[in-house]
Amino acid sequence: MNTSRTSAEKNATQGHERLVYLDNNATTCVAPEVRNAMLPFFDMLWGNPSSMHAFGGQTARYVEEAREKLAALIHADPSEIIFTSCGSESDNAAIYGAAEVLGTQAKIITTRVEHPAVLGSCRHFREHGYKVVELPVDGVGQLDLAALREAVYGGPSLVSIMWANNETGVIFPMDEIAKIVKSAGGILHTDAVQAVGKIPVDVRTLPVDMLALSGHKLHAPKGIGALYVRRGTRLKTFLIGGHQENGRRGGTENVPYIVGLGVAAELAAKHISEEQTRVAALRNRLEQGLLSCPDARINGDVRHRLPNTSNMSFEFIEGEAILYHLSDLGICASSGSACSSGSLEPSHVIRAMGVPFTAAHGSIRFSFSRYNTDSDVDYVLKHMPGIVQKLRAISPFVTH
Ligand code: PLP
């Protein structure tokens, strides 16, 4: 159990009594071990791994060590790992690379609840003549497997289906999905950005062709990601440049961040069971406590969910209003609404699930990490019921 807070977290309280960070699906703190491992690569070992001279070339070994550590986390061969700049690049590279190889006669199949990195990439190819199918989900966010079965037959297909949803934590049955896609001869990419580090991932037993992950969701810094590509998968290069990553991704390697991701992967493997036990228990205690607020509900399939994620609705009040009040107390969470557009529309995920209007607007997401503690949960439970009560009292949707 690791309950020590990073100094960055301590500094970030900004005058609040404390910082309670429950937005780990958005990003995570950099683990102290990760930061320490990265530091020498800024001021001592800053050479280019491709250099012929020993000073630069010596860093190549550290890149390969990190590749081995990351490969071990998902049980891949190190040669199947391509370092990228983020999860979005990994998703784009997978979809672009496979779609270009397959050509416009191929169907691209995805789901309505994907991250924009996947949905946007698929829709880009629709504009370029590909047939794109977006599969529906049911009321708890589970995939319609019958619709997938129907979609994959009748020609080549590229299927991109997320492993775990960033907003609800709902886990899709990847085993079943892989069986369906592979039996129809399709290529399968999974966006596992939210899954890796939270649930066991083993590409030896799960026949996905490609898998995207992102460093900043597992206590490495922002700006580093990876794409697993099963040996033999044909892929067109997405980022054209030098011969780095065996010619599969141009760009001088981000050595410090790659080293950081390697250490983060090692730590994730060590802590994976804590995610299912201690972290899940924190999430469950918060949820049970908050369900005692009137008209509160959980969004998403509670039987198949990431251990760290809770998406809840408090009917008749805006999620944003709750978030502002929480933020004033130093509590960080997220809402699913696209407030950047100024419209406060419920997110595409919540809409795809058909969550009723009055609940969709009050949806907020709490996401934990191994750095959270029982006292974080106590703090939220102390304040949240009062906030909900106060906002209900002024809600235009409630007849007073
Ligand atoms: N896919 C999912 C499911 C995500 O949650 C995210 C980030 O929130 C991404 C992809 C994109 O990852 P990155 O921020 O590293 O580009």
List the catalytic residue out of 29, 122, 293, 339. 339
Query: Cα of 92 to ligand 1 centre, how many Å?
Result: 11
Q: pLDDT tens digits, residue range 108-143?
A: 999 999 999 999 999 999 999 999 999 999 999 999
Which ligand 1 atom minimizes the distance to the CA of 88? 16
Ligand 1, atom 13, residue with closest C-alpha: 87
Count of other CB atoms within 10 angstroms of residue 75 = 14
Query: Cα of 223 to ligand 1 centre, how many Å?
Result: 11
How far is residue 357's CA from residue 22's CA, in Å, rounded to a whole number? 25
Ligand 1, atom 5, residue with closest C-alpha: 166
Query: Cα of 160 to ligand 1 centre, how many Å?
Result: 14
Ligand 1, atom 8, residue with closest C-alpha: 26
- Nearest alpha-carbon partner for 152 in 109, 104, 121, 118: 109
Query: Cα of 54 to ligand 1 centre, how many Å?
Result: 36
Phi/psi region, residue 112 (left: phi>0; alpha: psi -120 to 50; beta: rest), is: alpha
- 340: exposed, middle or buried (Cβ count in 10 Å: 0-12, 13-18, 19+): exposed
> Is 50 exceeded by the pLDDT of residue 11?
yes
Confidence class of residue 2 from pLDDT cuts 50, 70 and 90? Answer: very low
- Nearest alpha-carbon partner for 198 in 105, 307, 119: 307
Ligand 1 site, CB within 6 A:
86-88, 91, 115, 117, 162, 166, 191, 193-194, 214, 216, 225
Q: Does residue 339 have an active-site annotation?
A: yes
- For the chain, what's the residue count? 400
pTM of the entire structure?
0.95
How far is residue 3's CA from residue 1's CA, in Å, rounded to a whole number? 6
Q: pLDDT tens digits, residue range 279-289?
A: 999 999 999 99
Tokens of 96: 């672009």
354-369 as b/e: b if 16+ CB within 10 A: ebeebbbbbbbbbbbb
Q: pLDDT tens digits, residue range 22-53?
A: 999 999 999 999 999 999 999 999 999 999 99
- Nearest alpha-carbon partner for 249 in 228, 231, 232, 218: 228
